[in-house]
Structure 1
Amino acid sequence: MKRIVLILVLCSFSLGMAQSNLNDLLAAGLNDAERYTTSYLAPVTEAGVYSISNGWYNSADAKPLGGFEISIVGNLTGFKNKDDKKSFTLDTADYENLQFADGSTSRQVSTALGDIEGVDVFVEADVNGTSVRADFELPSGLASEDLNFVPSGYIQASVGLIKGTEVKARFLPKIDTDDVKIGLYGFGVQHDFTKHLPADKILPVAISAVIGYTRLSGEYDFTDTDVIAGENQRIDAKFSSWNFSAVVSTKLPVINFYGGLGYITGKSDTDILGTYVVTSGPFQTTYEDPFLITNNVSGVVGNIGTKLKLGFFRINADYNIAEFSTFTFGLNFGFR
């Protein structure tokens, strides 16, 4: 359960899986451990990139000079019906040492989003004329804990400049505990093209372009967990994304509707750092900074939402349709 809690703390990027499974995976050999971990983490890091990429706008109507808005934004990126992201095919022909305990050569196993449990594997080799074998179970994922979403959240501020331009910044106050560190920042710009039209004041709609960049970094130090011998053991993860969107919205006094079509591109780097001494199985050795896993993500996203104005207080919610769809909600305080 602690692994699942850490997944949520680190915006569900599934980094805590290393605490309970890194020893077993490294016992299969470095190449097998890296290949398996890459496939295991890919869907959850993809969902994480989509999650942090949303929430850049709640209107196409840019704020005037000096207008501002401070928002608390939350995202829930769902994967309940994404069966193709919950598992992957593990073919032992692609691995140097990993074998299924039931004798099969290929089968579906869980990703960090999945719920497949009870998959037993082993590694075996001759060591000084003696057959040495290590058995272990592959990890399951979030769905096995009845969790079907990847959350993210941050504080965002927007300020209006001249000629229909609005600048934005977002951040997550740094969380720094004994073993977990996480922080997020981002910046963006929105330009309202309808502000250049003579009839802007009477037009019922606004049309804007939005560009936003987000970067999240997290570190989990598990040196003191005694899972595997060594020192300075930690996982360092960095996620970055760009969102390029065209947005249209109504311009009504109280309730407004908005929608956008955009393109998201991002990258995740998960670095396993420190010294690891493998003491079980036939491949007992010491690894320094074993491997780095990189996943590139890109795709089209469309959304539709609504915003309610109540004086200085506003509420907005929208649904983003993409490879991983996201529900975004915001509490906003501002003046324009």
Structure 2
Amino acid sequence: MSTRAMSPVLLIGGSGQVGARAARALRRLHPDLPIAIAGRDARRAAAVAAEVGGPTTATTADVGRDDLGLERGASFSAVVALVKDEASNAVKRALADGVPHIAFSDFVSEIGPLVAHHVARPTRAPILMLGHVLGGTATMAALHLAQDLRSVDAIAIGCVISADDRGGPASEADFERSAQIGQAALVLQDGKWTWPRGDAAIRRFTDAEGVERVGQAYPLLDVVSLAAATDARSIRVDLAARDAAARGAGHVTELVVEVSGRGHDGSGARLRYDIVDADSYSRLSAYGVAIATERLLGLAGGPPVGPGLYNPESVLDPARVIARLEELGARVSRGGARG
């Protein structure tokens, strides 16, 4: 089936900072793919749809409503929730229609409802948990490095954003929700799961330009994904803020992925990716959403994904993700040392 013959991909929150960028990325990757930009503000959704172009429509949607506020009888090829689905209405819709679903805004402590809906209807639709840093791009970069090692000891992910880069309203709500519930980050340390606070939640790392950054551990799903996919005994994700004026006008997002272990010859190895994008962190997140969406629909990397509950590493090929990021405009540099 051609992409033009498909029902639209529904982007709930598609007029937000991540959603609009995800729509643009999908349009670049698949010029004929129908996309539905859905948000509470019909005028804003229409403006994004007009900018994205191609077979793109606009509609209103509200995850707080049982019917999502969508027109009766509307059909979609996938339901992508780019805002917090607090009442699970988006996943319910995807399961009812038997179409792929991406859950983008769940922290590591919030996946219970999503898991329960899958358990209740395990054969209905593929559900992808994508509450990872920058849309799963860091996890896939780490796994790409891990492929070059015989064994993995530790994985450290650092994300550097501008201090004034808070994303759009949905991202702001995520930050506020995390602060309100006072949750600590989940970290794997020496083979044990811990929820560090205070000084234990701080890590210093070097960014792509050699500047030392002070990062704060964050409760994202990368740690559990990577723990299940590798034999690493230490895994953490840290976010650091850069002075807004440090690199001049505009936002720059840097992703530092470090993997250490043993090479195939038995020697020690430390491998690293620096992924840099000259935009708000929303754009790298959007790239991850777009890459995941095309994979679930079978538009790249293999046939459509069948029903199940997935992390990104379950369905995505690390090398393909890195290639897609470069194709979309991110700057990817690889380094490391052995011995």
TM-score by length of 1: 0.24
Greater radius of gyration (CA): 1
Question: Greater strand share, 1 or 2?
Answer: 1
TM-score by length of 2: 0.24
